[in-house]
Structure 1
């Protein structure tokens, strides 16, 4: 089990970092804004007070250290996704990482923002209440597909 935890930690951090690099490139080269992880931290910070849904999160009171909390959660979620991926495909995947399972899994993780985060932040299921729902959906799919691609890239690191 220890080996699986370490593998998930390295794979999750690597894939999440790759996702963030893609988001940074999209922002710098194409002007596409990425998710403000401070809003994730704000959402998490309100959970102990029983506030699960915000309409929208930007109108909710700020919490102390919301940006670091959001970024920490972002990476912790990436690690949890990597653990889930390794359990599903088997830890032997790391011996011969293949793209399609990783890419498919990454695309499937878009269900988390579609069904949990977006509704809780006030954008509705699959961002249906966002100003441009289809744009928000596409951005989420690209982000999570880049996470899947990052799983594969990070998995290749075990071969070096």
Structure 2
């Protein structure tokens, strides 16, 4: 159990940090804005009131609390993805991680969740269909989640080779 917890914390938090560093680099290199976690926080706050889709109608700039909620949600999701590996593939997987599960969960599942859950929830439509730059958004989502999955795999391998 301790191994699974350590794995989940290191891989979940570490890969999410790697994704955030990547997003910051994209902003610096190309001026590409990353996710606005404050808006995600607003969306989360609106869910109990029945606001399933975030629109600009009735929302002010995100508050500090909404930003904190959005960022917390972002890191919680990273932890959940990492927890999938020991839950589905078992403790033995942690001692000898294979790339396939990371491609499946860290890349494919996380990309689909972004394009089919979070993007529509933020008003962008299914598969970013309501955005003016759908192809670019999908390409960025694929690239970003490849970075996330790669970081998960690298961190998992690092845990195996780390001295105990």
Alignment TM-score, normalising by the size of structure 2: 0.86
The count of corresponding residues between Structure 1 and Structure 2 is 158
The residue aligned with 1:142 is 143
When the two chains are superposed, the root-mean-square deviation of aligned CA atoms in Å is 1.8
The residue aligned with 2:39 is 39
Give the superposition deviation at 1:86: 2.9
The residue aligned with 2:101 is 101
Decide which moves more: 144-153 or 86-95: 86-95
Question: 1:118·1:127 contact (CA, 8 Å) conserved in 2?
Answer: yes
Q: For residues 64-75 of structure 1, what are the structure 2 equivalents within 5 Å?
A: 64=63, 65-75=65-75
The residue aligned with 1:61 is 59
The residue aligned with 1:117 is 118
Q: Which runs of 5+ in 1 are unaligned?
A: none
> Structure 1 CA distance, aligned partners of 2:82 and 2:29?
28
SS in 2 for 1:35: coil
> Structure 2 CA distance, aligned partners of 1:85 and 1:26?
28
The residue aligned with 2:25 is 25
Question: 1:127·1:137 contact (CA, 8 Å) conserved in 2?
Answer: yes
Q: Which runs of 5+ in 2 are unaligned?
A: none
Alignment TM-score, normalising by the size of structure 1: 0.88
> Structure 1 CA distance, aligned partners of 2:34 and 2:50?
27
The residue aligned with 2:51 is 51
> Structure 2 CA distance, aligned partners of 1:152 and 1:129?
33
Give the superposition deviation at 1:154: 1.5
